[in-house]
Amino acid sequence: MKQIASRQDVDEALGQDGAILFKYSMTCPISANARREMESFLERRPDAPVFKLDVHEAAEASEYVSEKTGLEHESPQVIILRGGKPDWHATHFDVTASALEEQIA
């Protein structure tokens, strides 16, 4: 997973043919669950192009994601990007390894 810390990092993720953007908070128990789900997903798909963004440490980048994708800010949130556009997204307890696998299959 590549850590997003800036607008330039967001642009890099959006510039990929396909990417998974994972937004989370280190202080939220729901985000902790989502992080475990992402780790489980990456165990099965270690080459997946995942970009992670801590919404508190990179608040400006998080808001920029909302601007660029048109999706309302949520945390935790996972967004599958295809051609730089959001193709699918989930929030809170809908962020699961199995849901991600279904979407990229």
Give the strand pairing for 50-54 and 85-91.
Answer: unpaired
DSSP annotation of 101 reads: H
**Residue 44 domain boundaries:** 2-94
pLDDT digits (tens, 9 = 90+) for 9-64: 999 999 998 999 999 999 999 999 999 999 999 999 999 999 999 999 999 999 99
Q: Is 104 among the domain residues?
A: no
| pTM (two decimals) | 0.94
Q: Name the phi and psi angles at 94, rounded to 5.
A: -80, -5
Q: Is 64 among the domain residues?
A: yes
Q: Is 83 among the domain residues?
A: yes
How many independent structural domains does the chain possess?
Answer: 1
Q: Is 34 among the domain residues?
A: yes
Q: Is 103 among the domain residues?
A: no
The sign one gets for the Cα dihedral 34, 8, 105, 48 is: negative
Q: Is 49 among the domain residues?
A: yes
Look at the chain and count its residues. 105
Residue 105 — pLDDT band, cuts 50, 70, 90?
Answer: confident
pLDDT digits (tens, 9 = 90+) for 53-80: 999 999 999 999 999 999 999 999 999 9
Contact 75, 21 (CB under 8 A): no
Q: Is 22 among the domain residues?
A: yes
Contact 84, 14 (CB under 8 A): yes
The CATH number of residue 38's host domain is 3.40.30.10
